[in-house]
Amino acid sequence: MTVTVKTFERLTDAAGALASDRGARFLGGGTLIMRAVNEADPSVGTIIRSTDPALQHLSASSGRVELGAGVTMAAVLAERELAFLHSVARAVGGPAVREAATVGGNLFAPSPYGDFTAALLALDATVIFAGGFGQRELVIDEFLTRRDRNTSLVSSVAFRRPTSTDAFRFHKVTRVHPKGISVLSIAVNVPVASGRIAGARIAYGAMGQTPVRAKSAERALEGRTLDAAGVAPALAAAADGTSPVDDAIASAWWRREILPVYLRRVLLGAASA
């Protein structure tokens, strides 16, 4: 099987080529897509690349953070202003994978992958597309519900920096340390104002076909205190809306069983990375 590689200087041209060819896939870092090519996946006929510097754009010094889709996990780890995301980037594979794995590719990584995307979901990120004729941006929840039908090129993601360094927390549960695949991952953004939780976000990786928000648990945290009594109703609702699968890493039953245990630890600050 022949695979054609097309390289474009401008993202808009790459977006046009991607949208017009059903067998085309955009190349991020290639950690997943090159595996598909090497396995002769017949659905991949054309690889689209772009050398547009916009893909590597990273701006993190203000309240709004923007990450080009081509920013790698290693680049996130090298940026001090993104310290709150270092535990997330470090959780993606080993060093060689992190050198190549991109933010954009992680948005499309099948479960149980998608640890970085779970964090973006807890940060209420916006997914921004390049060129094409469709919608230019989508909130990440909506993007994930339509992901499998996506033929658009993601150019970047953007989100507001957490209000305090303590508000955002992430934990990945894995059987193989330090770089195993997720049994599940949990990202929370829990702003506290006048001693009460306001606008909490909780997202899980590996608890469904894509990373998912725990909306019942979020609602249960609203106006509560961030202590054992305050988080108890959220723990009771922790698995609502999730649909984990049985796979080689863990059973769906086990994922549901351990979820509230780890959510409690993350919310109470007893677990990190």
Ligand X SMILES: Cc1cc2nc3c(=O)[nH]c(=O)nc-3n(C[C@H](O)[C@H](O)[C@H](O)COP(=O)(O)OP(=O)(O)OC[C@H]3O[C@@H](n4cnc5c(N)ncnc54)[C@H](O)[C@@H]3O)c2cc1C
**Residue 126: how many other CB atoms lie within 10 Å:** 19
Residue of 93, 162, 230, 244 that binds ligand X (CB under 6 A) = 93
Whether omega before 191 lies within 30 degrees of 0, making that bond cis, reads: no
Residue 11: which residues within 8 A CB-CB, separation 6 or more?
50, 52, 54, 55, 130, 131, 153, 155
Residue 123: which residues within 8 A CB-CB, separation 6 or more?
159, 160, 162, 168, 187, 189, 201
Q: Which is nearer to ligand X, 66 or 264 (CB)?
A: 66
Q: Does 197 bind ligand X (CB under 6 A)?
A: no
Q: Which is nearer to ligand X, 97 or 268 (CB)?
A: 97
Residue of 8, 84, 113, 262 that binds ligand X (CB under 6 A) = 113
Q: How far is the CB of 186 from ligand X (least distance, A)?
A: 14
| Positions 4 through 43 that interact with ligand X (CB under 6 A) | 25-33
Binding to ligand X by CB under 6 A, coded x per residue (else -) over 39-78, reads ------------------------------x---------
Query: Cα dihedral sign for 88, 91, 93, 96?
Result: positive
Q: Which is nearer to ligand X, 77 or 101 (CB)?
A: 101
Residue of 67, 76, 85, 102 that binds ligand X (CB under 6 A) = 102
Yes or no: say if 255 and 206 are a contact pair by the CB < 8 Å rule.
yes
Binding to ligand X by CB under 6 A, coded x per residue (else -) over 140-169, reads -------------xx---------------
Q: What angle do CA 30, 92, 175 make, to 5 degrees?
A: 125
- State the residue number with the nearest CB to ligand X: 105
Q: Which is nearer to ligand X, 234 or 271 (CB)?
A: 271
Q: Does 170 bind ligand X (CB under 6 A)?
A: no
In terms of Cα–Cα distance, which of 203, 201, 202, 195 is closest to 223?
A: 195
**Residue 257: how many other CB atoms lie within 10 Å:** 12
| Bridge partner list, 179 | none
Which residues contact ligand X by CB under 6 A? 25-33, 69, 91-93, 97, 100-102, 104-106, 108-109, 113-116, 153-154, 181
